[in-house]
Amino acid sequence: MDTETKLREELSAARNLIASLRLVLQSVPRIASEAFNYWDADEDHKVGKILRALSGVLPGYRSDIDQIVQAGKEECGITWVS
């Protein structure tokens, strides 16, 4: 493999990582705010579900959270705790 091809592949991988991180960083404040509102309204069960989904143990609970978990697994090498 020549140097230019290798650099193109590395650039493509870096772009994919940046896109995944952007998704996570844009989603986290919204999800945190939502969880706080549930907690403040004494709907702790919803907070618990959100936190469990973010930890990767409730796949399918919410597609936006599934995308965050998937990005963490594939792009960031995050090991989720169950």
**The predicted structure's pLDDT at residue 73:** 77
Give the Cα separation of 1 and 19 in Å (integer).
26
Residue-number span of the structural domain to which 56 is assigned: 3-74
Task: Establish if 65 belongs to a structural domain.
Answer: yes
Please name the helix (run of DSSP H) or strand (run of DSSP E) that holds residue 31, with its range, or none.
helix 3-40
Give pLDDT tens digits for 37-77: 998 889 888 999 998 898 888 999 999 899 888 877 776 66
- 61 φ, ψ to 5°? -65, -50
Q: Is there a domain that residue 15 lies in?
A: yes
* Global pTM value: 0.65
Would you state the pLDDT for residue 76?
A: 64
Query: Into how many domains does the chain fold?
Result: 1
Q: Is the per-residue pLDDT at 82 higher than 70?
A: no
Q: What is the pLDDT of residues 5-23, one digit of tens each?
A: 999 998 998 888 888 788 7
Single-letter amino acid code for the residue at 49: K
In a domain, 40, yes or no: yes
CA dist 48 and 26 (Å) reads: 21
C-beta of residue 65 within 8 angstroms of C-beta of residue 73: no
Assigned domain for 39 exists: yes
Q: Is residue 34 situated within a structural domain?
A: yes
